[in-house]
Amino acid sequence: MPHLVAICYRMRQNLLPPKFKTLAEAKSLDIRKQLGLRSTQACPARLVAELYNVSVTASSSLLEVLQADLRELFPDQALYSERLTWVSNPECKFSALAAIVGEHRMILYNDSNSLARQESDIMHELAHIICEHPGDCLQLNADIALRQHNDSHEEEAKWLGATLQVPDQGLYQLVRAGHTTERIAEIYGCSIEMAIYRRRITAVDRRLSYIKPKPQF
Ligand SMILES: [Zn+2]
């Protein structure tokens, strides 16, 4: 059903509110400015987390804490170890989650994923926090509510997270300077898939093709 797929794709694209992409780009540049970074430089997710007072915790360290704390409570160590290891198992699909406990905000991420993947996972959760998506965080200060899937919030976090990593302005300059997609991924500390995605979705190459070459004398 290729037509249906195309329609669904367009519908998903329309889930972003008007001007969201422009605001996301402005946010990406503003955060870089606050961190003293240029648009052609990587903006590490952990620095953005610091800026927003969000603590970032690796699932493996949480596992160690839990194992230490629970050892005395649960005599059947094999059972609790088996149940806890899922968070740091590469086979499980866990990427990251954001949690809010009172004023404290934290992101738990799966550090068994690649560094590039960790960057985009953390940035995605930060995007939820920056957008103040109420249903997208684990709210531990009130009734515990696991993430409720909200398509438009997911699209916003996906777009903003990716824009924070690879801003249009910097990408344009790097492509214009002749850098390859692989080099651009290296510069931003993102995956090659992310660099390809941003290069395609921002239509950088098409926009550059409109620039008339300067006459040669
Ligand atoms: Zn999300």
- Tell whether the model's pLDDT for residue 46 goes beyond 90: yes
Distance 54 CA to ligand 1 centre (A): 16
pLDDT number for residue 10: 43
Distance 213 CA to ligand 1 centre (A): 42
75 confidence band (pLDDT: 50, 70, 90):
low
CB 125 within 8 A of CB 107: yes
Residue 126 has pLDDT above 90, yes or no: yes
114 has a pLDDT exceeding 80: yes
What separation in Å is there between the alpha carbon of 184 and the centre of ligand 1? 25
* CA 96–ligand 1 middle distance (angstroms): 9
Q: How far is residue 28 from each of residues 45, 52, 164, 170, measured CA to CA in Å? A: 11, 13, 5, 10
**For residue 58, what are the β-bridge partners?**
109
Residue 90 has pLDDT above 70, yes or no: no
| Span from the CA of 159 to the centroid of ligand 1 (angstroms) | 10
209 alpha carbon to ligand 1 midpoint, in Å? Answer: 34
Structure tokens given for 81? 């170890």
> Which amino acid appears at position 131 of this protein?
C
Where do the structural domains in the chain lie, given as residue ranges?
Answer: 20-208
pLDDT in tens, 130-186: 998 875 444 444 444 445 567 888 899 999 999 999 999 999 999 999 999 999 999
Q: Mean pLDDT over residues 5-24, rounded?
A: 70
The per-residue pLDDT for 51 is 97
